[in-house]
Chains A and B, each alone.
Chain A
Amino acid sequence: MRNLTDKAREAKDKKAAIGPDVDLATFTAEPVAHDYVKDLKTLPVLDRNRLIQAGIDTSESGRSGTYIQMDTAVVHSHAKQEGLEVIPIKEALKKYEWAREHYWKLVSVDADKYTAAAELNLHDGYVIRALPGAKAVWPVQACLYLDKENISQYVHNLIIAEEGSELHVITGCATSPHLKRGLHVGISEFFVKKNAKLSFTMIHHWAEEVMVRPRSVGIVEEGGLFLNNYICMKPVKSLQMYPTTHLVGKGAVARFYSILVGTPGSLMDVGGRILLKAEDTRAEIIARAITNGGTIINRGDLVGEVTGVKAHLECKGLILNGGIIHAIPELQGKADGVEMSHEAAVGKIAQEEIMYLMSRGLSEDEAISTIVRGFLSVDIPGLPPKLQEEIDRAVDMSSKDVM
């Protein structure tokens, strides 16, 4: 661990390769005490509503476990199903060798000042693990919540689907209604072992002055499947992330889906990189971006390193009411016989579609919101219906705001 601390110290001023630089010193990383909540039903109503918006079900029906962290403190953490584990990372690092083995294994602690700060100021984070062969009946839910004005929250998460297991995680990040300014730095490391299946759905609800710097890397072994869904449709000052996944085993598959809505004043720089390093691996990155005044930079990078891999990248943007969408799709084929393609489009809503719907009785506004809703809706093969419903619900709520 000392080695990590030293490396982190050396990188603490290292600016990130992309995205505006955040002055970490302008936020407070001091721990904030929050009481542990044994029964989720006793959470204050106001908070509960914010949690629901971020996909957290406080009744826990249809959930296999829950982790909730408020500011720097864990307020709830437990698994409901045998074979699943939900443990705060600080506790896990103390108790378990396997946790220490996975910690900083995929993300470099000295990647930039944010990874460094996450190590030096680690508040907590979750470890969600499915034991070998365990199949989650329902998704595990996790929430990282910002409550204290001007806080910086540093978390580190490990998500591990052991061999032959199936794990679904829905994670929401949200802020208290009163919170204006804050910083969230989250390190996430995903391990999808042989023949395991992991779906990870993240819904972000930030506030207008919140800066967000997630850093995540995943690895998928032979026969594994990793679905990574990201939804951010609410204002955020600056969000920059470039999650990366390595497909290292034969037949491994990764699919990234993202839905972004850029509101005025928001800057979102969201990428996705999948490296296809083993035979028969498949990758797909699908992004939908809408701006009505914000700036969205949508990056995607597929790297085919061996013969016979297949990968596709699709990035579609709609400019509704001012704003900028910058699509940067990249393909790198490094071997004979790779099949890789991309499709990027930035445009506006076609007048013809609006009128078609109007001729079926919708008003112009109803027609536009129907088209927006359709544009944002993506069917994600392999995602449990319950989670597809959550995504549809988030999109429904937000596509109304877009208007």
Chain B
Amino acid sequence: MLLIEDLQVKLGEREVLRHIDLQINPGETHILFGPNGSGKTSLLMTIMGYPQYRVTAGKITFKGVDITNLPINERAKLGIGMSYQRPPTVNGLKTRQMVQICAGERNVDVEGMASRMNFTDFLERDINAGFSGGEIKRSELVQLMAQQPDLLLFDEPESGVDLENIALIGNTIGKLLQRDFHTEPNKSQVQRKKERTKMGLIITHTGFILDYVTADKGQVLFNGVLSCSNNPTDIFSCIKVMGYEECVKCAI
């Protein structure tokens, strides 16, 4: 479980998150809505542990461990993983090596994972070097497949993705979050749902991702405040018609 209690965060001198309370139970996926600059990425980066996001009050607990002051790699080891919107290029580091780094000690089928994302051609290229928006998203997903985190943070996974790949990306996220539907012998869909352990927090602007990934809750972040928590489809419809500001008002 991820538990965030009364979290306050500063980036430089600017207060970017105020009094955030959020709970994601095992098996749950939440969608994070909010206008540009509302603090969505800041929230993800704070959960991941980027030190420039300074926690001035409150606390983050993951799997019962207080991670508020834990370095990034310790959080990764505990099972937190992130799909970035604009990750940096690391010159000379091949995508293949990066996927292996994600797998840690585990043996993984890098080729197989890459081919599922139509990404085999990129394995010998430097990670993120000259990748388009959509290529970055596919690269991030291959890395998360290898990393197998329990809490997955997605920063706008559909931005820059063409129509052809949106389904691939959406379905892959669904799988990573154990939200894909397929038949398994001796197991009902209800049972599969009960056995879900993976947690997700997905930032979306367009809502396209909702066509592929089911979610338990939607959250709206507005001016650094988590202002509304509701059915994600309801929230999205409300935002579409009324705009963020009105939507937040009605929810409060």
B160 contacts the other chain (CB 8 A): no
- Most chain B beta-carbon contacts within 10 A, residue among A360, A374, A376: A360
Give the residue of B49, B50, B71, B102 whose beta carbon is less than 8 angstroms from that of A360. Answer: B102
| Set of chain A residues within 8 Å of B84, measured between Cβ atoms | 356
Tell me, rounded to whole Å, the shortest Cβ–Cβ distance linking B79 to chain A: 10
B157 contacts the other chain (CB 8 A): no
CB-contacts of B60-106 with A (<8 A): 71-73, 75-77, 81-82, 84, 87-93, 98, 101-102, 104
Tell me, rounded to whole Å, the shortest Cβ–Cβ distance linking B62 to chain A: 14
| Set of chain B residues within 8 Å of A355, measured between Cβ atoms | 50, 72
> Is A356 touching B87 in the complex (CB atoms < 8 A)?
yes
| Set of chain B residues within 8 Å of A361, measured between Cβ atoms | 73, 76-77, 101-102, 104, 147
Contact code string A347-390 (vs B, CB < 8 Å = 1, else 0) = 00010110111111111100100110111111000000000000
Tell me, rounded to whole Å, the shortest Cβ–Cβ distance linking B48 to chain A: 6
| Set of chain A residues within 8 Å of B50, measured between Cβ atoms | 355
> Is B72 touching A359 in the complex (CB atoms < 8 A)?
yes
| Set of chain B residues within 8 Å of A363, measured between Cβ atoms | 73
Tell me the bound Cα distance from A371 to B128 in angstroms: 14
> Is A374 touching B93 in the complex (CB atoms < 8 A)?
yes
B15 contacts the other chain (CB 8 A): no
B143 contacts the other chain (CB 8 A): yes
B126 contacts the other chain (CB 8 A): yes
Interface of A is mostly: helix
| Set of chain B residues within 8 Å of A377, measured between Cβ atoms | 92
Tell me the bound Cα distance from A356 to B89 in angstroms: 10
Tell me, rounded to whole Å, the shortest Cβ–Cβ distance linking B219 to chain A: 22
Give the residue of A352, A362, A364, A373 whose beta carbon is less than 8 angstroms from that of B88. Answer: A352
> Is B90 touching A356 in the complex (CB atoms < 8 A)?
yes
Give the residue of A352, A364, A378 whose beta carbon is less than 8 angstroms from that of B73. Answer: A364
> Is A360 touching B92 in the complex (CB atoms < 8 A)?
no
| Set of chain A residues within 8 Å of B102, measured between Cβ atoms | 360-361
> Is B101 touching A370 in the complex (CB atoms < 8 A)?
yes
Tell me, rounded to whole Å, the shortest Cβ–Cβ distance linking A274 to chain B: 24
| Set of chain B residues within 8 Å of A378, measured between Cβ atoms | 92
Q: Which residue of A lies closest to B93 (CB)?
A: A374
> Is B91 touching A357 in the complex (CB atoms < 8 A)?
no
Q: Which residue of A lies closest to B52 (CB)?
A: A351
Tell me the bound Cα distance from A357 to B90 in angstroms: 9
Tell me the bound Cα distance from A367 to B77 in angstroms: 14
Tell me the bound Cα distance from A375 to B126 in angstroms: 11
| Set of chain B residues within 8 Å of A357, measured between Cβ atoms | 90, 101
Contact code string B129-171 (vs A, CB < 8 Å = 1, else 0) = 0000000000000010001000000000000000000000000
Tell me the bound Cα distance from A350 to B87 in angstroms: 12
Q: Which residue of B lies closest to A352 (CB)?
A: B88
| Set of chain B residues within 8 Å of A376, measured between Cβ atoms | 92
> Is A359 touching B90 in the complex (CB atoms < 8 A)?
no
| Set of chain B residues within 8 Å of A360, measured between Cβ atoms | 76, 81, 98, 101-102, 143, 147
Q: Which residue of B lies closest to A349 (CB)?
A: B90
Tell me the bound Cα distance from A370 to B81 in angstroms: 19
> Is B93 touching A359 in the complex (CB atoms < 8 A)?
no
> Is A374 touching B147 in the complex (CB atoms < 8 A)?
no
Tell me the bound Cα distance from A155 to B102 in angstroms: 49
> Is B88 touching A353 in the complex (CB atoms < 8 A)?
yes
Tell me the bound Cα distance from A373 to B126 in angstroms: 12
Tell me, rounded to whole Å, the shortest Cβ–Cβ distance linking A167 to chain B: 28
| Set of chain A residues within 8 Å of B88, measured between Cβ atoms | 350, 352-353, 356
> Is B81 touching A359 in the complex (CB atoms < 8 A)?
yes
> Is A362 touching B73 in the complex (CB atoms < 8 A)?
yes
Given A355-B72, A356-B84, A374-B126, A362 and B101 touching (CB < 8 A)?
Answer: yes
Tell me the bound Cα distance from A350 to B81 in angstroms: 21
> Is A371 touching B93 in the complex (CB atoms < 8 A)?
yes
CB-contacts of A156-207 with B (<8 A): none
> Is A370 touching B93 in the complex (CB atoms < 8 A)?
yes
> Is A353 touching B76 in the complex (CB atoms < 8 A)?
no
| Set of chain B residues within 8 Å of A373, measured between Cβ atoms | 92-93
- What are the 9 A-B residue pairs with the smallest beta carbon separation, nearest first? A374-B92, A374-B93, A358-B72, A377-B92, A358-B73, A361-B76, A352-B88, A360-B102, A353-B88
Chain B residues packing against A (C-beta within 8 Å): 48-50, 71-73, 75-77, 81-82, 84, 87-93, 98, 101-102, 104, 126, 143, 147
User: With contacts A350-B88, A356-B84, A370-B93 known, what are 10 further pairs, Cβ within 8 A?
Assistant: A353-B90, A359-B49, A359-B72, A359-B73, A359-B81, A361-B77, A364-B73, A370-B101, A371-B90, A374-B93
